[in-house]
Chain A
Amino acid sequence: MPSKQELPIIHRPTVALGLEGSANKLGVGIIRHFPRPSSKTDARRPAQILANIRHTYITPPGEGFLPRDTAKHHRSFVVKLVKDALKTSGLTPDDIDCVCFTQGPGMGAPLQSVAIAARTISMMWDKPLVGVNHCIGHIEMGREITGANNPVVLYVSGGNTQVIAYSHQRYRIFGETLDIAVGNCLDRFARTLQIPNDPSPGFNIELLAKKGKHYVELPYTVKGMDVSMSGILAYIDGVANDIFSGNPRYAEDGEIITKEDLCFSLQETIFAMLVEITERAMAHVGSQQVLIVGGVGCNERLQEMMGIMARDRGGAVYATDERFCIDNGIMIAHAGLLAYETGFRTSLKDSVCTQRFRTDEVFIAWRDD
């Protein structure tokens, strides 16, 4: 691992192509960074997004996405998306400095399919390859877009649930899920309800939850700084199955519990758990900022609940919209380009993807605070 040293100064803008395919979204992005100002007091010009294209593999209601089929989707679309991204950006391969790709964590076969495309493009265009940790991509993109300089990060998606804070050139994990991710819990409940996966199961749950009126008590499973989701899912699946098999449940006011009520109750419960562990991390590190990243981070109710907590502490919540929250290629280009600017490269032999790749394994050479 590189030791802490002065960052090399690059006096011209740099451009990266980023390829993301760790789950059911295939994303291709092109980003431009401007040179660091010579004075430390000057702000760096914000990164410029030249293209950010995504194609999602959507399965029928009641079905999740399987690695094999997802990989096939990515293989079918990756060339077209790269072509479209270049066209959108108006650039040619000559303008690109490096080719970045998600090296993990995620599903093995989809990751590998996209890595093969990244390797091929890197060799064809004779540009260095940069492997990127998916979680670091989310964090750095969130910081870039929102301007939150040193936030506690809540990273919530279909595959990951982590509370993260930066310290000494690592993004350190303060708390995480002990079993399934928050998004996985929502996605699987959407399958139980047989609601569409288009545009995403979580979005459809959010819409239903807005119509929910009765809160159904669910297990609340915060364990220290960690959370557990699988018991909650099993419990609410049981309630839903009861309702669907003609055994209605009744609220205190005598009304029948609906699936809208269940979506509402599920969101309220698991988001309250996330707010609790995030607040504890903020108190621990003395931060006033919360940055929410990952696909579940689009959820407006989660943003609202987190905002209430943050305001009570005199702080604020920072979130992005679906272009940057949901998996995308631009965040991989961005985090990859930050690493590239510090001299980081990924050789072909080290470009194998890994399904398990923890956030705190990455040395954050580009931050010196």
Chain B
Amino acid sequence: MTKHEHHLKLTIPFSTTGQAQIAYNAISPDPQLKPDQFTQVLSVSNASGASDELSAGGILVAEFDAASERVLRVGVNGFLESLGVVVGCLRDLDYDGL
């Protein structure tokens, strides 16, 4: 994970572990376009032991490793854009919400 010198770690709270898992499953299949310059490792953890009230459900952890700041910015933006679609679906297309 520390192949390059530019790193970022994001922890994204979801209301349930199931939702965090859906986000993980929806985003992980797509390969990175330049794996030698940018890697993205996702994982899901449940929030047991989390002190933060926001992350009482599940957490999607995203760790990025990039060859330059620019590549890091572009890659993380891409991840956030994809995440936005997932969150939009989870929020508005939920069984109960419809």
* B98/A120 in contact, CB under 8 A: no
Chain A residues in the interface with B (C-beta under 8 A): 71-72, 75, 78-80, 82-83, 86, 92-93, 112-113, 115-117, 119-121, 123-125, 348-349, 351-353
From the candidates B29, B85, B89, name the one contacting A349 in the complex (CB within 8 A): B29
* A348/B95 in contact, CB under 8 A: no
From the candidates A82, A83, A121, A348, name the one contacting B29 in the complex (CB within 8 A): A348
Point out the residues of chain A lying under 8 angstroms from B81, CB to CB.
Answer: 71-72, 75, 113
Q: A92-B98, A124-B22 are in contact. Are A79 and B29 (CB under 8 A)?
A: no
* B89/A75 in contact, CB under 8 A: no
Point out the residues of chain A lying under 8 angstroms from B92, CB to CB.
Answer: 79-80, 83
Q: Which residue of B lies closest to A79 (CB)?
A: B88
* B90/A124 in contact, CB under 8 A: yes
Q: A116-B27, A123-B25, A352-B29 are in contact. Are A79 and B82 (CB under 8 A)?
A: no
* B85/A352 in contact, CB under 8 A: no
Q: A93-B98, A113-B85 are in contact. Are A123 and B26 (CB under 8 A)?
A: yes
Q: How many A-B residue pairs have CB under 8 A?
A: 75
Point out the residues of chain B lying under 8 angstroms from A348, CB to CB.
Answer: 25, 28-29
Extra inter-chain contacts (9) besides given A93-B98, A120-B23, CB under 8 Å: A71-B81, A75-B88, A80-B92, A83-B92, A112-B82, A116-B85, A120-B93, A124-B89, A351-B29
Point out the residues of chain B lying under 8 angstroms from A80, CB to CB.
Answer: 92
Kindly identify, within residues 67 to 98 of chain B, every residue whose CB is under 8 Å from any CB belonging to chain A: 81-82, 84-86, 88-95, 98
Q: Chain B's nearest CB lies how many Å from the CB of A104?
A: 13
From the candidates A79, A113, A119, name the one contacting B25 in the complex (CB within 8 A): A119
Point out the residues of chain B lying under 8 angstroms from A83, CB to CB.
Answer: 92-93, 98
Point out the residues of chain A lying under 8 angstroms from B84, CB to CB.
Answer: 75
5 intermolecular pairs with C-beta atoms under 8 Å apart: A79-B93, A117-B88, A120-B23, A124-B90, A351-B29
Q: A79-B88, A125-B95 are in contact. Are A112 and B22 (CB under 8 A)?
A: no
* B89/A352 in contact, CB under 8 A: no
Q: Chain A's nearest CB lies how many Å from the CB of B78?
A: 9
Point out the residues of chain A lying under 8 angstroms from B93, CB to CB.
Answer: 79, 82-83, 93, 120-121, 124-125
CA distance A78 to B93 in the complex (A): 11
Q: What range describes how many residues of B lie at the interface?
A: 20 to 34
Q: Chain A's nearest CB lies how many Å from the CB of B70?
A: 16
Point out the residues of chain B lying under 8 angstroms from A117, CB to CB.
Answer: 85, 88-89
Q: Chain A's nearest CB lies how many Å from the CB of B65?
A: 21
* A119/B29 in contact, CB under 8 A: yes
Q: Chain B's nearest CB lies how many Å from the CB of A20?
A: 15
Kindly identify, within residues 31 to 55 of chain B, every residue whose CB is under 8 Å from any CB belonging to chain A: 31
CA distance A166 to B84 in the complex (A): 41
Kindly state whether residue B30 has any CB partner on chain A within 8 Å.
Answer: yes
* B98/A86 in contact, CB under 8 A: yes
Q: Which residue of B lies closest to A82 (CB)?
A: B93
Q: Chain B's nearest CB lies how many Å from the CB of A262?
A: 39
Q: Which residue of B lies closest to A113 (CB)?
A: B85
* A124/B85 in contact, CB under 8 A: no
* A116/B26 in contact, CB under 8 A: yes
* A116/B82 in contact, CB under 8 A: yes
CA distance A125 to B18 in the complex (A): 12
CA distance A82 to B85 in the complex (A): 12
Point out the residues of chain B lying under 8 angstroms from A119, CB to CB.
Answer: 25-26, 29
Q: Which residue of A lies closest to B94 (CB)?
A: A124
Point out the residues of chain B lying under 8 angstroms from A351, CB to CB.
Answer: 29
Point out the residues of chain A lying under 8 angstroms from B26, CB to CB.
Answer: 116, 119-120, 123
Point out the residues of chain A lying under 8 angstroms from B28, CB to CB.
Answer: 348
* A120/B29 in contact, CB under 8 A: no
Q: Which residue of A lies closest to B92 (CB)?
A: A79
Q: A116-B85, A120-B89, A124-B89 are in contact. Are A352 and B31 (CB under 8 A)?
A: yes
Chain B CB within 10 Å, residue with most, of A92, A93, A117, A348 = A117
CA distance A92 to B93 in the complex (A): 10
Point out the residues of chain A lying under 8 angstroms from B86, CB to CB.
Answer: 116, 120
CA distance A119 to B95 in the complex (A): 15
Q: Chain A's nearest CB lies how many Å from the CB of B88?
A: 4
Q: Which residue of B lies closest to A117 (CB)?
A: B85
Point out the residues of chain A lying under 8 angstroms from B95, CB to CB.
Answer: 92-93, 124-125
* A121/B89 in contact, CB under 8 A: yes
